Amino acid sequence: MFRALSSSPEKLSVTGMGVATPEIAAAKTSTKKTIADELPYLGGMEVIEEVFALISRLESDRQHTERELFNQKQRARQLQKKTDELASRRAKEFPVAVQAGR
């Protein structure tokens, strides 16, 4: 049983002797569990592999989008150039056509 060794308010300690039951003794002699054994399996490696796969897909999509953006900008420059050429040609030919029509 328990007994008080000191009753002063500054320091109080209690000592006692436990009773070993067969279940407790068997638990102590069984294989020791590590912290990893006590934690639930969360599938960490699978999650990491999935994250890497998603990052890889995102990078692939980014590169594809970057190429498409470059192609669209190039196409816009070509169309702008063609529009400028047609406007320039019209600016030159229109006065000539007006004068010829008189």
pLDDT tens, position by position, 39-59: 667 678 888 999 999 999 999
Residue 7 lies in a domain: no
Residue 51 lies in a domain: yes
Residue 16 lies in a domain: no
Residue 101 lies in a domain: yes
Indicate the number of domains in the chain: 1
**Residue with more model confidence, 17 or 90:** 90
Domain that holds residue 62: 42-102
Question: DSSP letter string over the chain?
Answer: --EES---SS---EE------HHHHHHHHSPPPPHHHHSPP--HHHHHHHHHHHHHHHHHHHHHHHHHHHHHHHHHHHHHHHHHHHHHHHHHHHHHHHHHT-
pLDDT at position 77: 97
pLDDT tens, position by position, 66-86: 999 999 999 999 999 999 999
Residue 62 lies in a domain: yes
